[in-house]
Amino acid sequence: MAEKNRHIIYLRVIATVFVVLIHASTGFLYRVDTNSFDWNYANWINAATRCSVPLFVVISGALLLQKDENIWDFYKKRLPKLLFPFLFWTIVYLIYYFYRYTNFENLSSEKIWAITQDKLLHGANAHLWYLYMIIGLYLTIPFLRKILVQCSIKEIEWFLLLWLLSMFVSNRAFYSIMPKFDLTFFSGYIGYLVLGHYLTIKSFHWNKLIAPLGYIIITTVTAMGTCILNEKATSLNTLLYNYVFPNTAIAAVFLFLSLQPYCLKVSTIPRWITIVDKYSFGIYLSHIIPLNFLHPFFSRHADTVWVIPLASISTIVVSVFLTFILRKLPYGRYISG
């Protein structure tokens, strides 16, 4: 169990850092120029880190699909940990949106209500889409667990194969060449829950170099493929950045397996790793605000090669501090994430 906990800790920290790196680098991609250093640098970072959100869901599957809890106990214990931060950060980002992106005093009450309604329904900030997705997944977990308990490893592998197929069937890029089969049951982020469960019950007797090498190969394919797709593009083609696409799923698998041999050898976890792990959800929820201030600051004083790592590291530090302060406030631990 200790080895598994170490494994999960490192995966969670990597996923958290990857999310911040994505948001610190993506802005350089929208001006498509596959010959420029800035674009290629950001492209390679995105290629390496797009398995971030999938890893979060894989971790949920690995931790929760083996627990034997009734539906009410599961919901009562876990949904408040998502719903309270969801409500709090929705309000924070709604206020932040009005402050940063509008002339609030010039808005009519009808316009304010329309914006508020849209933000409440679809996300007060772009990255909060994750909360809408993960809350939906948590609602399925008690039912999904009952199905998986009855499945053999081979049957789970068939599910995952159909899930990979659904990534093409449901992708608009392949609409003209794929039959319109209804693979809804196998589609979306639910596959990452099943994948996380599968990776914890399946034994892999591979050479320890295969998984890290596979991750490097997938990263290379994603980066070079995205470059090729955008050579003549006028707007960014993000097909291979898709969170629910085979290359991203395979990268998540390889990264998950890469860490297992390492975690078996680790006796102590560095302090900074435990801190980022402890505040990972809060970092995810809060990081956009400090990043929006720190990224422009570093852009004025450093080259792109330094801007992305410096902005990412400083954003994580500030986000840890913000989450720490929030948790010290009355009831803050319920809303901070």
Residue range 264-278, pLDDT digits in tens: 787 789 999 999 999
Q: What pLDDT was estimated at residue 2?
A: 54
pTM as predicted: 0.94
- Residue of 1, 2, 10 whose CA lies nearest to 262: 10
Q: What pLDDT was estimated at residue 1?
A: 42
Which residue ranges in the chain fall short of pLDDT 70? 1-4
Q: What pLDDT was estimated at residue 224?
A: 98
Please tell me the distance from the alpha carbon of residue 45 to that of residue 26, in angstroms, as a whole number: 9
Q: What angle do CA 71, 75, 167 make, to 5 degrees?
A: 85
Please tell me the distance from the alpha carbon of residue 250 to that of residue 282, in angstroms, as a whole number: 27
Count of domains observed in the chain: 1
Query: Domain range for residue 202?
Result: 2-335
Please tell me the distance from the alpha carbon of residue 147 to that of residue 201, in angstroms, as a whole number: 15
Q: What pLDDT was estimated at residue 326?
A: 96
Q: What pLDDT was estimated at residue 87?
A: 96
Please tell me the distance from the alpha carbon of residue 65 to that of residue 199, in angstroms, as a whole number: 12
Burial of 313 by CB count in 10 Å (0-12 exposed, 13-18 middle, 19+ buried)? middle
Q: What pLDDT was estimated at residue 215?
A: 98
